Amino acid sequence: MTAEDTIRKTVTENDVVLFMKGTKMMPQCGFSSRVAGVLNYMGVAFADVNVLADEGIRQGIKEYSDWPTIPQLYVKGEFVGGCDIVTEMTLSGELDQLFEAKGIAFDKAAADKIREANA
């Protein structure tokens, strides 16, 4: 199985996937930590893929999405974005709307608290 096959299988078999440096419980870069922290705080169930554990996946995900940086968030097989985009979407409420539209369970009150804290 190629890296691309593995990536495609991962994003199609999981509703929410974060390709990141480290794991959701132990992120290994600030950007990955921020996105994993938002998802964890909002109570979103997500699969984490540590790109540091596999160089093929680390390079392959950049080609798969045509996006040069990590972390990368996927929801229902669709690439959402990296840290800056996810942060902006969280603060604007767009991430809530995306989760609602895709049927992803999340804690709306926690999302509101993030916005209140950053207002």
What are the binding residues for [2Fe-2S] cluster? 29
Find out whether 106 and 43 touch, Cβ atoms under 8 Å: yes
Residues 6+ apart with CB under 8 A from 70: 19, 20, 21, 29, 31, 32, 51, 58, 61, 62, 82
How far is the C-alpha of 85 from the C-alpha of 91, rounded, in Å? Answer: 10
End-to-end CA distance of the chain: give it in Å, rounded: 46
- Known binding-site residues equal 29
